[in-house]
Amino acid sequence: GSLATRENIYPICFDPTNSESVSTACQRISRDFAPVYVLVNNCGILSNTLAAETSIEDWRNIFAQNVDSCFLMSRELLPPMKERKWGRIINTCSLAGKTGGVTTGIGYASSKGAVHTMTFALARESAKDGVTVNGIAPAYIRTPTVELYPDEMVDMLLKYIPVGRFCEPEEFAHTVRFLISPLAGFITGEIIDMNGGLLMS
């Protein structure tokens, strides 16, 4: 069945790159609903620019959205997870963080590399307290953004993906569901690749 319905989704607007905004939002969630046991860091922006075309302002914005957001959310929610001796943190990583990217630029690839390393560091410091921290590294999920790619780019990318298609959003969601389930209680500090075999091609 579905993981969520319209009745149990509650959107909260806040700035995940701002420490005070993150703290206020997390306190509100814990106060109005329940303690947070599962955190999925899925905030981020894409950038395809090369090094010479990337301004320092763009670089800092990419890292703020892709790295700072993960750090701030984890810093806020990890301590109470440790106190309760149970928690799950899932970071959205990327194939680009391992390879430098097929079509992505230096800022995006570098930021996702940082998220990979952050995943390992968080997992190491929290394992003894019953909290697992893992990442999922997809390549080209069929989102509205990917569906805007020109046909020639889609054809080029699919040539590199052995299964011959993009990842479906539901496949990513089911991987998250697995990692937060009792079946994955012994898995921590791992980056799960979801790239249709692209990494081996």
What are the catalytic residues? 108
Residue 64 near residue 85 (C-beta atoms within 8 A) = no
Query: What is the C-alpha separation between 97 and 111, in angstroms, rounded?
Result: 7
Q: How far from 189 is each of 34, 62, 186, CA to CA, in Å?
A: 26, 24, 10
Q: How many CB atoms lie within 10 A of CB 92?
A: 20
Cβ neighbour number for residue 158 with a 10 Å cutoff:
16
Gap between the Cα atoms of 45 and 19, Å rounded: 19
Measured CA to CA, the distance from residue 178 to residue 173 in angstroms comes to 9
